[in-house]
């Protein structure tokens, strides 16, 4: 130990926990009639029900937005990956209400308005937290701003995608990612931009779209049971240099099962080369959480994947 090294000591107490940035969100749920409410949650660990922050963005009739944010004590562990992601740790939530109290506070507002989430994660997290606390999940009116963005900006498919990171750049949105109040506001702004882009009101954007014809899903290639990687399960995320169909065929040829979502069975996650898109990938986030929980998932880029499935020298 040098004279400049800090002396060892006990872990920081809750009062010593660094303050999180104040984004100016309201401290109590907004009151009034709103066009819709966007909701976002942050979680403490790989358990979807470990909600540690809830953010709301309530859109007024004139399209003004009131944001609200509250910390929630999840009553469970915090994984280092999640703390790095959103900056919330055990000390921040030591005196925060638990999920049942938070839900009781917010439920009148949530039941009274249509809700927006960016991807399906937030709805699933609310349901998981309800089940963990023995609460019947409430019937709420959910719509997905990812689906709305795909409709408004179809050209982004394969060109950065419709995650908040890419939409932040494309739409010039100003928000701080992985703060629940800020992400909720970003989801609300995506919807408002889509209304302008498509000249359609919220009610039409969120209505079920009739389909004149059903496009047959492309069959997933069957893994070769005799392949050298038989038993492996691979998932792709982000934009690859290879067409996805070709990548799936290459994986199946060496025995890898190709799956759509990351689960405990996943052995390999192949991440596209765009760092901004990759950082916002729900699949990557889930894989990191599972790895932190001890699951042996390899997170690799496309070049490593190519070498894995076709190791012949160039």
Is residue 16 in some structural domain? no
Q: How confident is the model at residue 218 (pLDDT cuts 50, 70, 90)?
A: low
Least trusted range by pLDDT, from 209-213, 219-223, 256-260, 294-298: 209-213
| 177-200 confidence digits (pLDDT tens) | 889 999 999 999 999 999 999 999
167-178 pLDDT, tens digit each: 988 999 888 888
Using the 8-state DSSP alphabet, how is residue 225 labeled? T
Q: What is the pLDDT of residue 5?
A: 39
Q: How confident is the model at residue 276 (pLDDT cuts 50, 70, 90)?
A: very low
Cβ burial of 275 (10 Å; 0-12, 13-18, 19+) is exposed
Q: Chain-wide mean pLDDT for the chain?
A: 86
Q: Distance between CA atoms of 224 and 238, rounded to whole angstroms? A: 25
Radius of gyration of the chain (CA): 22
Q: How far apart are alpha carbons 4 and 311 in whole angstroms?
A: 50
Per the CB < 8 A criterion, the answer to whether 250 and 281 are in contact is: no
According to the model, what pLDDT value does residue 88 have?
95
Q: In this structure, is residue 31 part of a structural domain?
A: no
CATH of the domain at 45: 3.30.420.10
Residue 102's pLDDT band (boundaries 50, 70, 90)? Answer: very high
Are residues 199 and 240 both part of a single domain? no
140 and 53 assigned to the same domain: yes
Residues 197 and 238 in one domain: no
Q: Are residues 55 and 199 in the same domain?
A: yes
Residue 187 in contact with residue 216, Cβ under 8 Å? no
Q: Specify the number of domains making up the chain.
A: 2
- Range with lowest mean pLDDT among 91-100, 104-113, 266-275: 266-275
- Tell me which residue of 185, 159, 248, 235 sits closest to 59, measured CA to CA: 185
Is 278's pLDDT higher than 90?
Answer: no
Please indicate, yes or no, if residue 72 is contained in any of the structural domains. Answer: yes
CATH number of the domain where residue 291 is located? 3.40.50.10190
Over residues 57-62, the mean pLDDT reads: 96
Q: How far apart are CA 17 and CA 39, in angstroms?
A: 26
Same domain, 161 and 242: no
211 vs 71, which has greater pLDDT? 71
Write out the DSSP string of 110-149: HHHS-EEESSSHHHHHHHHHHHHTT-PPP---EEEHHHHH
Same domain, yes or no: 192 and 255: no
49 occurs within a structural domain: yes
- Which of 57-61, 82-86, 228-232 has the highest average model confidence (pLDDT)? 57-61
Q: Is the pLDDT of residue 12 over 50?
A: no
Q: Average pLDDT of 22-39? A: 91
pLDDT at 203 (0 to 100): 94
Cβ atoms of 5 and 47 closer than 8 Å: no
| Cα–Cα distance for residue pair 54/74, rounded to 1 Å | 11
- The predicted structure's pLDDT at residue 234: 93
Percent of the chain with pLDDT over 90: 54
Question: With 60 as the cut, is the pLDDT of residue 14 above it?
Answer: no
Dihedral angle sign, alpha carbons of residues 300, 305, 308, 313:
negative
Mean pLDDT of all residues in 11-31: 71
Flag whether pLDDT at 215 surpasses 80. Answer: no
* Pick from 197, 187, 143, 192: nearest CA to 164: 187
What sections of the chain are H helices per DSSP?
Answer: 80-86, 90-93, 99-112, 121-132, 145-152, 164-170, 180-198, 202-205, 244-253, 275-279, 282-292, 302-309
pLDDT digit string, tens, across residues 120-174: 889 999 999 999 999 999 999 999 999 999 999 999 888 888 888 889 889 998 8
The whole-number average pLDDT for the span 41-48 is 92
> Residue 252 above 80 pLDDT?
yes
Highest mean pLDDT out of 73-77, 204-208, 297-301, 302-306: 73-77
Same domain assignment for residues 58 and 190? yes
Residue 152 lies in domain: 36-206
């Amino acid at each position: 130990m040098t004279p400049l090294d800090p002396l060892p000591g006990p872990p920081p107490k809750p009062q010593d926990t660094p303050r999180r940035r104040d984004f100016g969100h309201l401290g109590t749920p907004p009151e009034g009639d709103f066009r819709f409410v966007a909701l976002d949650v942050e979680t403490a660990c790989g358990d979807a029900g470990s909600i540690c922050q809830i953010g709301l963005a309530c859109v007024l009739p004139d399209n003004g937005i009131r944001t609200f944010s509250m910390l929630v004590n999840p009553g469970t562990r915090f994984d280092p990956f999640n703390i790095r992601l959103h900056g919330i740790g055990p000390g921040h939530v030591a005196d925060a209400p638990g999920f049942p109290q938070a839900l009781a506070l917010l439920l009148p507002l949530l039941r009274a308005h249509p809700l927006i989430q960016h991807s399906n994660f937030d709805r699933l997290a609310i349901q998981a937290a309800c089940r963990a606390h023995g609460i019947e999940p409430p019937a709420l009116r959910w719509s997905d701003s990812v689906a709305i963005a795909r409709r408004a900006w179809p050209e982004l498919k394969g060109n950065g995608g419709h995650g908040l990171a890419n939409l932040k750049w494309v739409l010039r949105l100003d928000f701080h990612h992985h703060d629940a109040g800020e992400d909720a506001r970003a989801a609300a702004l995506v919807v408002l931009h889509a209304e302008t882009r498509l000249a359609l009101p919220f009610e039409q954007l969120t209505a079920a779209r009739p389909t004149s014809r059903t496009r047959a899903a492309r069959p997933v290639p069957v893994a070769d049971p005799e392949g050298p990687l038989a038993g492996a399960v691979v998932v792709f995320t982000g934009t690859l240099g290879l067409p996805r169909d070709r990548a799936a065929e290459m994986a199946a040829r060496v025995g890898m099962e190709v799956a759509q979502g990351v689960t405990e069975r996943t052995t390999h996650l192949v991440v596209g080369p765009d760092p901004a898109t990759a950082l916002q990938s729900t699949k990557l986030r889930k894989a990191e959480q599972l790895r932190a929980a001890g699951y042996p998932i390899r997170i690799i880029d496309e070049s490593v994947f190519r070498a894995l499935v076709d190791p012949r020298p160039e």
